[in-house]
Structure 1
Amino acid sequence: MDRTPQRHAESLLNALDPLPFPQRMRELALRVKERAPLRPVLEELESRGPYERGIAVGGGAPGRGAGW
């Protein structure tokens, strides 16, 4: 079963939320490098609140923007 961008975004947020900031950023970088296609997940995060948009921005950098 394919996971939707919404589910990927939720999974990412759930994994990152309990981590301290430095570890959160490292984990984010690792996860976005493994995720393809990345753009739908970044767009889903961008459509949410300020925290989620920040995660999208942080994820876009190591993910090389993913056209976002």
Structure 2
Amino acid sequence: MLVHGAELTFTLTRFGKPALLYDGYRFNLNNKSTGPRALWTCSRARAKSQCKATVTTFNNQIIKRNDVHHH
């Protein structure tokens, strides 16, 4: 399932780590992701809100998303 609509932008955090901008939110690359498949977690996952939103990409295309944000 490819998801279309919102713009997908790959960038870096201020610390030089991979980040994904999608639908107005920033996602950080899960450090266990390898190969063409990658799991991205909301940048607020470790904040007070403990946001559970995630995006999964394969070859830089979104294949799965849980975009329910708690903030």
TM-score > 0.5 by shorter chain: no
TM-score normalised by the chain length of structure 2 = 0.26
Structure number with greater Rg is 2
Structure richer in helix, relative to its length? 1
Structure richer in strand, relative to its length? 2
